[in-house]
Chains A and B, each alone.
Chain A
C-alpha cells in the first residue's frame, strides 16, 4: 500500500476504534480511582491524580484496588458470577442436545425443505424476549420457579436453540459430503458416521456455537430481571444494575470493575472465534 493509502486507513480506522472502545478504557481508569480523585470535578477523569489534581508517571501510586476488593468481599458479585456460569453451562448443555441433531439433519438429511425449515427456525430467534416476558413471568410463578435459577435454565434455550441450530447447520454444510459417504459405504450406520466422522471435524464449529450461546445467556436481561427478585439468585446482567445501583448512591469504581470483569474474557473469546462465527452464521443462508 502507498504511504498515502496507509495514512488514510489509519485516519479512518483509529477514530472508530477510539469511539468504540472508549467506554471500556474509561471504565478501566475509573475502577482504580480513589474517592477523592473521582469526586473532584476539576481533576482530569482520564488519568489518576494526586490530591492537587496533578498527574504523575508513577500513576499506580495514586490509584487504589479497594473498590475492586469491596466488590468481591462485600457484595453478592462473586455469587452472580457463579450463577451466570451455572446457568450458562446448563443452557449450553441443553442447547447442544437439541441443536446438534437438528442442525445436522437440516444440513444433510432434509434435502430441499431443509433450507426453508432452517430459515423458519432462525426466525424463531428473532422473536424478542420483550414480546414474551409477560406471559412467561406468570408461567414461571405458576410453576413455582420464581427466584430460582431453574427458571432461566428452562427459558434461555428458547433463544439459544434456534441460534445454535442455525450456526451448526452452517458449519455442517461446509463439511464435504464425500467424507460421510465413504464411511457409509464402509458399512458404518448414519449415527456412527455422525459420531466418528462429522463430530470430530466440526469440533471448532461446535465450540463456536458454545461460546456464542453462552454469551447470549450472559447478555440476557429482561427474563433475569423479571423472574428473579432475590439478590443471591441473580446473574451478573441483572444483579449489577439492580443491587449495585441504589437510588442516588453510585459506587462507580466498583460498578466499572463489575462491568469489565465479564467483558474481558468474552472479548478475547469473540476475537478468537470471530472468523468461525461468520463462516457458520453466513454459511447457513448464503451458500
Chain B
C-alpha cells in the first residue's frame, strides 16, 4: 500500500516536473493549434490537389483519376487565360498604386497637425469596413444610371475627356448614356483595380508608418551629420531601412488581392462577357455553378505558385530583418 502511494506521488511529481520543462511544455502548448490547422487547412488543401486530378463533379467527394486533363482543359479555355491575366493585372496595378500612395501618405501622416485623429479615422475606414459591404457601396457609386461619379464628372464637364481618354463608348444608339463603369470591359477593369487599391491602401499606410517608426533616431542624426539630405538621404538611408517592412505590406496586398473573390463577384460577377473574371471567380463559376469540381480545383490551384513566391520572399525578408 505504502509503496504504491509513494509510486503515485513520484509519478505525479515527475508529471509536474515535466510540465516545468520547456522541452515538454512548448510542444504541448503548440500542438492543439497545429493539429487543428493541419485538419482544417492541410486536409482540404491536399484534397484540392487530389480533386484537381480527378473528374469529380458537384455532389461527390472523389472521382476517377484523369491526370493533368483538368489543367490542360482549363489552360485551353480563353476565359481561363483572361482570368489569369486579370488576376495578375489587378494585383500588380493595384499594388503599384498602393505603394506610391502609402509612401506619400505615410510620409505626411507621421507629422503632427491639427485634426490628425479625424484624418486617421477616415484613412483607416476602408480597412475596418467588411470588404464585401464596402464593395456594395462602390457598386452604388458606379451605378449604371445614378452614379455619383458620372454626375460629378458631367457637372465638371470632364465626362467627355474620360470617354476619349479611356476609349469608352459613350454614345449608344444615338442617345447619350452615362458611362457604364461596370458594364464596359475596359472601364470595369479600371474600376476593379481602383477598388482593390482603395481597400488595401490603409493597411499599407499603417504598416509603412510602423516601418518609419522602427528607424532608430541615431540613424537620423548620423545621416544629418554626414550631410545626407533630400533625395540622397531618401535613397541611401530611408528606403533601405524601410524596405523589409514595406515589403511585408506589399506581399500582403498581393496575396489578398490575387486571392480575393468578393470584389469582382459583387461588382461585375466576372462580366461583361467574362471580361473581368479572376481565378477565384472563375474557379467558382466552374467548380460550383457548372459543378465541375475537379476543374474548379485545378483553376484555384493556379494561385499556388504565386503564394509560394510570396511566402519565400516573406521568409527571406523576415530573416534579414532579424539579422540587421
Contacts and interface: CB of A to CB of B under 8 A. Distances in A.
A pairs with B: yes
Most chain B CB within a 10 A radius of its CB, from A12, A18, A24, A109: A109
Contacts of A281: 207, 210
Contacts of B120: 271, 274
A16 B300 CA distance: 35
Contacts of B311: 123, 126
A43 to B, nearest CB: 9
Contacts of A174: none
B37 A134 contact: no
Interface stretch (B158-166, B184-192, B198-206, B223-231): B198-206
A148 interface: no
Contacts of B280: 128, 130, 222
B112 A1 contact: yes
Contact of B30 (A39, A117, A129): A117
B145 to A, nearest CB: 7
Contact of B22 (A99, A109, A221): A109
A282 interface: yes
B130 interface: yes
B71 interface: no
Contact of B310 (A21, A44, A126): A126
Interface residues of A, number: 103
A55 to B, nearest CB: 14
A240 interface: yes
Contacts of A222: 261-262, 280, 284
B113 A109 contact: no
Given A98-B32, A263-B125, A130 B321 contact: no
B61 A138 contact: yes
A16 to B, nearest CB: 5
A30 interface: yes
Most chain B CB within a 10 A radius of its CB, from A18, A44, A274, A286: A286
Given A110-B30, A189-B19, A282 B214 contact: yes
Nearest to B117: A271
Q: Is the interface of B mostly helix, strand, loop or mixed?
A: helix
Contact of B303 (A26, A131, A263, A266): A131
Interface size range of chain B in the complex: 35 or more
B129 A134 contact: no
Nearest to B24: A109
Contacts of B136: 240-241, 245, 255, 259
B73 to A, nearest CB: 16
B171 interface: no
Interface of A: 1, 5-6, 8-10, 12-14, 16-24, 26-27, 30, 38-39, 41, 44-46, 97-99, 101-102, 104-106, 109-111, 114-115, 117, 119, 121, 123-124, 126-139, 141-142, 154-155, 157-158, 161-162, 165, 189-191, 215, 218-219, 221-222, 226, 236-238, 240-241, 245, 250, 252, 255-256, 258-259, 262-263, 266-267, 269-271, 274, 278, 281-282, 285-287
Given A18-B122, A105-B27, 17 more contacts: A9-B113, A13-B113, A20-B123, A23-B137, A24-B125, A41-B151, A45-B148, A121-B33, A127-B41, A130-B280, A134-B296, A138-B60, A139-B47, A158-B40, A165-B33, A236-B130, A267-B125
